[in-house]
Amino acid sequence: MFKGKRKATTRMTYELDPGPARRKRAPFVEPEVENYAIAPTEEVYSSSDSDIEPASEVFNQL
């Protein structure tokens, strides 16, 4: 248990090095997913009555 705690501290330092690299790679993939997810949700919340027609049009355009 004692060595495990010490190794955890050293592993955190190693994990922080690849962390920024993974964080830099993630935003390139996340904005695309967020843009596709936000577009229909905004129309659904903005127009509750006619949310089905705009959503279908958006998905057809995508």
Give residue 50's identity as a one-letter amino acid code.
S
The per-residue pLDDT for 49 is: 56
* Contact between 58 and 40 (Cβ < 8 Å): yes
59 pLDDT higher than 60: yes
61 pLDDT higher than 60: yes
Q: Measured at the alpha carbon of residue 24, what is the angle toward residues 26 and 30, in degrees to the nearest 5?
A: 25
pLDDT in tens, 10-58: 555 555 555 555 555 555 555 555 555 555 555 555 555 555 556 666 6
* pTM, 2 dp: 0.14
Closest of 43, 46, 49, 45 to residue 59, by C-alpha: 43
Which residues, 6 or more positions from 50, have their beta carbon under 8 angstroms from its beta carbon?
none
The per-residue pLDDT for 9 is: 56
* Contact between 58 and 39 (Cβ < 8 Å): yes
